[in-house]
Structures are given as structure tokens and as C-alpha cells.
Structure 1
Amino acid sequence: MKEVALQPYARLPREYRGLKVLAGTVDAYGRALWLLSDNPDARSDDLSGSGRLTALSRKQPYDALLVMDKNGAASELVLHDVHLLVGNLDALPNGRFLLAGTAAWHRTPGSTTANAQIYGRDGRSRRSFPIGQVGHLLADRRHNVWTGYFDQAIYGDSISAPGLVRWDTGGNQRWAYQPPPGAEPIADCYALNVADGVAWVYYYQAFCLLEIHTGGRLTVRGTPVKGAHGLAVQGDRVTFLGSRGHHDRLHRCRLTDDAVLLEEEAILTMPGGRPLGRYRVVSRAHTLYLLDPSSHSWHVFPT
């Protein structure tokens, strides 16, 4: 089977590697983001073999350092008074940032579930709000934030129950998935891809692919792939990463009006052909970004 190698994308500068990585992503502007801390109450979460985060206990709010890299040029911003066990972060328009996780000790007045914080460009918290038990979080450049949820969350609380929710960048819920006639509900959001104004969701149990536009158009397509954890979309082409028993398998497919047709398979490797180890994947439009187990290096697979 043909092999395809990842390419290096961004690496955490050496001067920051003594800090613990709490979360990371590649944002809609192409920047690699790392949230770091040296606070013992802000230790990084364990990354399981499935790519899911396992929370550790914390005791008190802390300051965190956000490091951003674009084309090798790094900048930083201190985020003050973080109240969360952070599992996800992303950049919002107008220089803001969103953190989501578990509100382990903090309780916002009038709320017992405020587990997301919006930060301004000055690093100060602007708002806390409940966002559910997030598995996937991706923002676009048009003030949309999409959240996908794992099975434990979907069956555990009302915000997470739809499996997929869209928010505005002020923290207000704007849309939640309701399956159209003949489609199954989302029992577990396996993969989420976001471009400006559109989201693609691959979910269990049906392993269908949803195409959702902010204007309201929704398309459900069956897929031949079972158990993928990443997807990249360009035009009428979609590439799935991973399947049951094959975490490194690429499935290149073609979209029709109502189906996904498999055309080719390949094996994804690290640069130089080394086998692909465990990873965390961020899917944006036609690109897959993979974070290595050290959480220091991002690699890229462009379709």
C-alpha cells in the first residue's frame, strides 16, 4: 500500500519546553497554539491512545502562557486567572481566545457549570459560560464556534446531548443538531472539520458524514469508513484519517449528493517514513494537523 509522509509544521520554541502543555491547536489563521503553565495545579492532561484527554485534579485558579507560532515567528500572551482544567482552546476573531474544560473548583455566580472562558487581547477573562463536556472545539473566522461531544457527555448533560452545537463568539448558543427524518442522532462525535461558515461531522453509530452550513443547509451522507478520527475536505473530495484497527490509514473518497465513495487507501507516516504513533488531530478545511505525544511538534497533511 502506498505511503504518504507528514510534513513538519510548527515546533514549540526551546525556551518554553520546560513548561507543561495544557492544550494545543492550530487556529483558523494557521497559527500553532500551545497553552502552557508551570503551576502544579495546571499540569497537562494525559493523552490516551485514542487521542482523548483524561483530566487530572487541580486546586486553584492560575495564570497560563499562550504561545503562538506562525511561520516560525513566535509570540506570547499571559492569560490571567484560568479557572478550568483546560482540554480545548481556540482563537476567536478580534484577538480573543476561548478555553474550554472542566470547572473543577470555580463557580461563577448563578451558575454551577461555567466551563468555558473567553479572553480579550489583553489576556483578561471577559466571560465564563457553560459549554458542555467538549470533545472537539473549532472556531472559524466568521464568529462561529462549533463543539462536538463524546458519548459520555451526550448521555450526561443537556448542553452536550445534541452531539454538535454552534455558538457565536460571545458564548451564546445559536444552533444544535437535530437529526432530519431517517438520520440517526449523534451518539459520539468522532471527527469535526470546520471551515468558514461550514462544519463537517463524522459520527457514531451510523458513521455518517454531516455537512452543515450556517445558512441552514444540512446534508447527511453514508460512508464506507468505520472509526476515523480526522477528516479533510476539498471540493468533492474527502480524506478520512484512521479506521478500526488502523490509526494510520488514509481513506481517500469522493462525495456524491448522498454518499461517500471510497477510491483509494494509503498509510500515513511521520516525516522520513517512520511509523505514525499516537496523535491528536485538528481538521480544518482541506488540511489535517497532527500533534505528537510530546505536545511540542505539529505536523501537517495537506490533501
Structure 2
Amino acid sequence: MLSAVRARWPHLDRLPDGGFVVAASRTRRYEDADQVQVQVFDALGCEASSFSVGDAIEHLLVDEAGHVWVGHFDENPAGIRRWSPTGHIYWTSDGESIPGLFDCYALNVSGTTAWACTYTDFPLVEIRPDRPVRVWANRVRGAKAVAVHGERVAFYSGYGEELDWLTRGELTEASVEPTDVDLLTLPDGHLPGRRRVVGRGSRIYVQAEPFTPWGVFDLSS
């Protein structure tokens, strides 16, 4: 039980110590944009800290070090940032060579590494806090989730008829080269329809309406 959760339409992830991070995806337009937006709860469900990361959160994921990765959609130019659980910025995409970063379409966290696919150019981006950003050109447009395993990559979703496409590819020196495309279906064979998706490591998690069970696609299997 988390006490006094204030977020509307929240993003949620678990911290390595058993606590949780809860964040409102939008700041309330009639309030100060710097309002407290993120709540960090300890393992007993009590609020341990709170801070703001800015409006328009598209993705929120916690890495194994307990840092919070936030990807924004296009109503906030902040792009992608990595925060401590007390509200200190450890990494920001400002000044990084990420082409066309107007919207973080897909975000994946594995260990302490983040992978992203960003609008408008949709490159695959590898972000390691202690190394320069790596960028691969990518022909898949509009993916909402990405999974990575070694030199293999999978992109899920896209525009129009590509909504349920799963495109697999391999990393070369400078680009992602697609190898095959399938429809991603639920275990019962149906297409997901309205769904939430989360990418973490080699896995893409899909929660279809009525948003109770999760299905898992694992690129490593």
C-alpha cells in the first residue's frame, strides 16, 4: 500500500530496495510547472522524497542502480534524462548527437544502460552514462517499444497498418538491418488492440485491454 499517491494517470516502477517511484505524466496546467510531480516511496509505502521532472512524460523506467530514466513526448523539449531518486539529474540528452530528438517514442532500460527510439528520425540510440552515446540509423518508423539482445533488436508497433508489427533486425556498424517482420499476437492468437507496452532488456511486455494480464515477448528465447 502506497500512502497518499498524488499522481493522476501515473507512471510506476519499482526501486531495487523494494520502494517505488510514481510520477504524474502531466503537470496540471493551472498550477506552477515546477510543482512536485514525482513521489518516491520506501519499501513500507511511505513517501521518502519528491521532486519534479517536467511535463509530458512518455516513459519512466528505473535502472538497477536505482536511477530513474524519463523520456518525454513532444510537448516538453527535455528529451531523455536520468535522475537520482532524490531529484538530482545525472544525465541529459541536451547537447548529445541524437538526430531529430523531439519525442521519445520508445525507451528500454537494461542494467544501467538505456536504449531509445526517437522521433523524427527514429534512430536506435544506446545511452551508457560513462560512455559517448551510440546511434544506429533505422528504417522502422514509429516503434513504441524496443528490445535488445546482443547484436539483435526488435521493434514493436508503428504507423497505420504497422500497429501490431514486430520487426526484428541486427546491428551493423552504423545501422539496424531488418531481418524479418511478423504480427505480434497475444497467447490466445488475437491481436492486442488497445494496449500498454514496456521494453526492458530483451523483453517487450504487452498489457492489452482490460489491462490485467501481461504478455511477454523475449528476443533471447
- TM-score surpassing 0.5? yes
1:150 aligns with 2:65: no
> Is 2:58 aligned against 1:135?
yes
Larger Rg: 1
Out of 140, 162, 171, the residue aligned to residue 255 of structure 1 is 171
What is residue 64 of structure 1 aligned with on the other side?
A: none
> What pairs up with 1:45-194 in 2 under 5 angstroms?
78-101=1-24, 102=26, 104=28, 112-133=34-55, 134-154=57-77, 161=78, 163-180=79-96, 183-194=98-109
Structure 1 residues 190 and 112 mapped into 2: Cα distance closer, same or farther (>3 Å)?
Answer: closer
Residue 187 (structure 2) pairs with residue 265 (structure 1):
no
Conservation of the 8 A alpha-carbon contact between 2:34 and 2:54: no
User: Any conservation in 2 of the 1:178–1:185 contact (CA below 8 Å)?
Assistant: no
Partner AA of 1:138 in structure 2: L
After TM superposition, give the deviation of residue 104 of structure 1 in Å.
4.7
Larger RCO (alpha carbons 8 Å, 6+ apart): 1
Report the Cα distance in structure 2 between the residues aligned to 1:103 and 1:222, rounded to whole angstroms: 33
Distance (Å, rounded) in 2 between the aligned partners of 1:240 and 1:270 = 16
TM-align CA RMSD: 1.9
- Partner of 2:17, secondary structure, is helix
The one-letter code matched in structure 2 to 1:123 is G
Q: How far does residue 141 in structure 1 lie from its aligned partner after superposition?
A: 1.4
CA distance in 2, matches of 1:185, 1:174: 22
| 2:149 corresponds to | 234
The percent of aligned pairs where both chains have the same amino acid is 34
> How many residues are treated as equivalent by the alignment?
215
Q: CA deviation at 1:247?
A: 1.1
Displacement after TM superposition at 1:91 (Å)? 0.6
TM-score, normalised on structure 2? 0.91
Please tell me the residue identity of whatever aligns with 2:170: R
CA separation in 2, counterparts of 1:180 and 1:296?
Answer: 38
Which has a greater percent of strand? 1
Secondary structure of 2:157's counterpart equals strand
